[in-house]
């Protein structure tokens, strides 16, 4: 058991190192972000594409200038602004409710001044945010050395044999954080997402040209199937 854990840890370290080497990430685009608009963008990113998030956020920014604007707006107008991002009937009332809660708490700046665990707990308590969204937000806004896990990263790690069926968000987050130095966690998180979007895709993954294929059980199965079928 101990040797298996060591082997997995070594393989995970190799995975992170290769992904960081092969997938470039521009961290500068996350600097000087407006706290509330960034939180809205992270919420909008749930279960949709980057292009849809950008389009919805542009429309949202045209209509609303502040948290108080959103808190006092009717849900229909919020929904119309974010419609491009999808699931607007669920997201619009949540964004309005979050805006009202933040006003009562004294704004996001107050939350962002708290230590990580406290800030995460407060954000996660709001409906529509949750631990993963809170982690992504704190990573972007403060460069907190966390390693958020999204659907792309779960899929990649299952295929690579790092995540098993028992792993939940927190279990897989701990695994990746243990193999990634704190200063590289944001870069690795973003690089893995890009890897999942472009190479290790949910459908038609590009296993034949993947730089992790030599250590990936899923790629070996796919290659074996293709060889057999030919």
- Pick the catalytic residue: 62, 76, 96, 132? 132
**CA 88 distance to own-chain centroid:** 19
Q: What is the DSSP string of 95-147?
A: HHHHHHHHHHHT-HHHHHTS-HHHHHHHHHTSTTTHHHHHHHHHHHHH--S--
The answer to whether 79 touches 108, Cβ cutoff 8 Å, is: no
Output the six-digit token pair for 50. Answer: 């980057």
Place of tokens 């809170």: 134
End-to-end CA distance of the chain: 38
Cα–Cα dist 203/208, whole Å: 14
Cα–Cα dist 206/214, whole Å: 13
The answer to whether 205 touches 199, Cβ cutoff 8 Å, is: yes
If one counts every other C-beta atom within 10 angstroms of the C-beta of residue 76, the result is 10
- Catalytic residue at 104? no
Cα–Cα dist 38/138, whole Å: 10
Cα Dmax for the chain: 64
The catalytic residues are 132
């Amino acid at each position: 058991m101990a040797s298996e854990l060591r082997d997995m840890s070594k393989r995970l370290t190799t995975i992170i190192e290769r992904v960081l080497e092969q997938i470039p990430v521009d961290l500068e685009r996350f600097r000087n972000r407006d706290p509330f608009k960034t939180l809205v963008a992270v919420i909008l990113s749930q279960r949709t594409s980057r292009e849809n998030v950008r389009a919805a956020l542009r429309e949202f920014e045209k209509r609303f200038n502040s948290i108080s604007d959103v808190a006092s707006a009717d849900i229909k107008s919020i929904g119309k602004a974010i419609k491009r991002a999808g699931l607007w009937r669920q997201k619009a009332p949540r964004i309005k409710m979050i805006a009202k809660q933040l006003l009562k708490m004294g704004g996001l700046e107050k939350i962002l001044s708290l230590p990580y665990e406290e800030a995460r707990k407060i954000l996660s308590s709001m409906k529509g945010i949750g631990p993963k969204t809170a982690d992504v937000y704190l990573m972007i806004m403060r460069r907190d050395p966390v390693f958020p896990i999204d659907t792309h990263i779960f899929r990649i790690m299952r295929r690579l044999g790092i995540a098993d069926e028992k792993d939940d968000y927190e279990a897989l987050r701990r695994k990746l954080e243990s193999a990634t130095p704190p200063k590289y966690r944001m870069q690795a998180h973003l690089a893995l997402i890009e890897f999942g979007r472009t190479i290790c895709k949910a459908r038609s993954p590009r296993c034949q040209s993947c730089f992790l294929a030599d250590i990936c059980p899923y790629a070996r199965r796919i290659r074996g199937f293709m060889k057999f079928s030919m």
